Chains A and B, each alone.
Chain A
Amino acid sequence: MEHRTAVDPHPQANKHAAKKLRNIHHLSPFWNAIAHLGIGLFSLACVYPFLFVVVLSFTDETALAKNGYSIIPEKWSVDAYTYLFKTGDQLLRSYGVTLFITVVGTLLTLIIVSLYAYAISRSYFHFRGFFSFVAFFTMLFGGGLVPSYIVVTQVLHLKDTMWALILPMCVSAFSILIMRTFFKTMVPDAIIESGKIDGAGEFRVFLYLVLPISLPGLATIGLFAALGYWNDWFNALLYIDDARLLPLQSLLMKVETNIQFILQNAGLAGAGDRTDMVRTLPAETTRMAMVVLATVPIIFAYPFFQRYFVQGLTIGAVKE
């Protein structure tokens, strides 16, 4: 093994070092290469299936039927996409729905959770214990599916509205817990005192003093909430009958479960019934194209947002 100087991450710190030893905290080049190779293979294994889906979506349907799946199809075609763009206002609509519930839901979650958590983090709030209990009780005991369903549909009458996709998920006890701890530990009492002395009321203190220094906490909660709304399909399964309000993940989920179901139950229904069932499904390449159209924009958007994610999640670590 030869001694080579590794790339130094802090060039300005070592500007005056004439001759530099290899940083002992770095991996040796050999192990570094091994690690890179391992990670590279792993990434490839993650990307490959999706690449496969992309290729399939551009495959000719009859070629697919004849030869089965292959990474280099015999015949390319954009039929699936032309078909989708002709009939696929559903996909666009679902995109809109998902974006809407993600944005509105995340904002609503942030407002409610931060207000709730701030209140129960203040030691002079009289009903602190009671409201803490109300929130944390739900973490241990849930009513179950049917009671929740009854509340949403028959008490709140939210069936077939956007709110059925937002309200059931908009307060999480876990987020309140995180936020409460954050307010307790990261917001010094002195700041609140200073606001009080200058004559600010509770709301002004909260809005102008507490929130600006709580951004890392809010980012974390917001991220979890946004991911939750984006990926949620189960609420739509329960509460949405109207295709105009169907979120994206639900749309994809439906296609998947339908195919599973029909394959499993093909033997139960009669001969004509099965052809009947299959007729109502989109073709294979169309399904793949749907997956591509549903995921690609997010894949391209992700790198731009990633740094915020990382920042938001490093809450609690020491930062300067």
Chain B
Amino acid sequence: MRKSVLLVLTFIMLASVALAGCGSSKDAKPSEGTKDTGTTDTQQTTQEKKADPVTLLWYTIGGPQKDQDKVLTEVNKYLQEKINVKLDMKVIDWGDYSQKMQVIAASGEPFDIAFTSSWAFNYVEGARKGYFLELDDLINQHGQGIKEVLNPAFLEGSKVNGHNYAIPTNKELPAQAVWRFNKNLVDKYKLDITKATTLESLAPMLKAVKEGEPDVYPIPSNIGMYLPFDFALEGIPVGVSMNTTDFKMVNIWESAEAKQVFKTMREYYQAGYLPPDVATKQGNDFEKTGKWLVDKQHTVPFADIQWSDSMKYPIVSTPMHEPLVFNWSVTGSMQAISSKTKYPQQAMEFLNLLNTDKYLRNLINNGIEGVHYKRLTEDTYEPIPDSGYSMPSFTLGNMFLLDKLKADPADKWEQYKKFNDSAKNAPLLGFQFDPTNVMTEIANVKNAVDEFGPSFNTGSVDPEKMLPKAIEKLKAQGIDKIIAEAQRQLDAWRASK
């Protein structure tokens, strides 16, 4: 009897000790891999006169890096001196980010700064749900530098209900679709790619390549055709025409432009210009094999150089339309401050620094000189492969402060500025559709679009026969209700301007 009671008691003791031990180990995290923990300690003693530094928790997207702690130590040294702030930076994987942040924000767990965008941890949704702090006054008080460096269209275009809830990254502002060509084949068949404007104009080139290279499918994948419309919502064919004057929301699949595109794609598919299984094909293996002629991409200045660089063979491109600023291109990469933060001022000061301070921006992006990269000249560098630190540059802050790679042209960022300045606004820029009232319809219509869209876009089915059926299905799923709702909101938005 006594023995068994003792047994149970010891077990309970052990369990509680283990639990307590694990619980408290969070505060006293052993900073592995940082040899210079001592320096931060001594720094703190010298800075005792100063107030204790504030620690900001920052979630951002990317691949977690091995030397994260090493770089963060350097960053914190610098930040403490500058604005008396320490950073706790957590990099969450691409695929996990949205789900994780949704849960964190919905549960009210504290964080200070987080990456948000039109494609991961949706910005407009987050702002509407009250996850993010409204930044209008904060920018004016502590983010003056941001205002100076950012193209004003960024802040203007990313407003939700008339307020800013995140700091956009200074990168390419507009989107411009291009026909992207495999130059090896272009040269071999002496094609004139300047003639590539419309989808129809590609016909002679596709024909020449297919005849010369029977085993090549000139259009390698579902390239998602460019249609001259500004979509009210990602993935739903509801929007207004690019050169609209009356701002009328339409069902895009019913438009003459869409019908024409589907018809042409059907002709190309039947001529064997696309792989037979293209509608369900995933991935971009063709980039590796080089067995393709043309696809559609969005460009940035010197994109051809980048593409050629990553594919190891030359790429050229021809624009389909002038650069246009869309809602989704303005909100392509942003950093928001949590509405629950205790330190809004420090968070904004840090974001200001991230967008204006060249040293800090490059340190967070490329790591430590000599460890993670070699410096070539004053503003060019060469990354050391497999060094354990390499962050995606477009997610963090002002890109124009970044050092350039060897292959980059000297006027890279000037060209970006020019590209941004040359942009025209898409008709719906600044209008954020609120889907709350038509959630069910949107889900249903999305399913129908996913069912038919790839087949039409790739010409796998005959649009003459199938398109009326598809449109009927969209109507049955309630697309007209979505159109009416979008129209109502759009009219209200235009009246308020």
Contacts and interface: CB of A to CB of B under 8 A. Distances in A.
Contacts of B94: 257-258, 261-262, 277, 280
Given A265-B119, A278-B310, A279-B392, A201 B289 contact: no
Given A153-B109, A254-B95, A201 B4 contact: yes
A52 to B, nearest CB: 16
A75 B333 CA distance: 41
A19 B192 CA distance: 89
Nearest to B286: A68
Contacts of B283: 263
A237 B96 contact: yes
B158 to A, nearest CB: 15
B307 interface: yes
B342 interface: no
A160 B88 CA distance: 14
B344 interface: no
B99 interface: yes
A263 B282 contact: yes
B4 A163 contact: no
Contact of B100 (A154, A237, A266): A237
Q: Give the interface centre of A65, A86, A163 by most chain B CB atoms within 10 Å.
A: A65
A205 B288 CA distance: 68
B19 interface: yes
B4 A267 contact: no
Given A146-B103, A270-B394, A271-B300, A257 B95 contact: yes
Contacts of A294: none
B291 to A, nearest CB: 10
Interface residues of A, number: 57
Interface string B103-136: 1101111000000001110000000000000000
Interface string B75-112: 00000000000000010111110011001101111000
B386 A87 contact: yes
B373 to A, nearest CB: 14
A253 to B, nearest CB: 8
B64 A243 contact: yes
Given A145-B103, A271-B297, A65 B289 contact: yes
Most central of A68, A200, A207, A280 by chain B CB within 10 Å: A280
A268 B332 contact: yes
Nearest to A90: B66
Nearest to A234: B99
Sort A-B residue pairs by CB-CB distance and give the 10 closest, nearest first: A257-B95, A280-B63, A65-B288, A203-B4, A261-B95, A268-B119, A271-B303, A276-B392, A258-B95, A273-B394
24 contacts: A146-B107, A150-B108, A161-B25, A201-B1, A201-B4, A203-B7, A207-B4, A238-B103, A241-B92, A244-B32, A256-B95, A258-B93, A259-B95, A268-B234, A269-B394, A270-B300, A271-B297, A272-B172, A272-B394, A273-B332, A275-B309, A276-B393, A280-B63, A280-B390
Interface of A: 64-68, 83, 86-87, 111, 145-146, 149-150, 153-154, 157-163, 200-201, 203-204, 207, 237-238, 241, 243-244, 254, 256-263, 265-273, 275-281
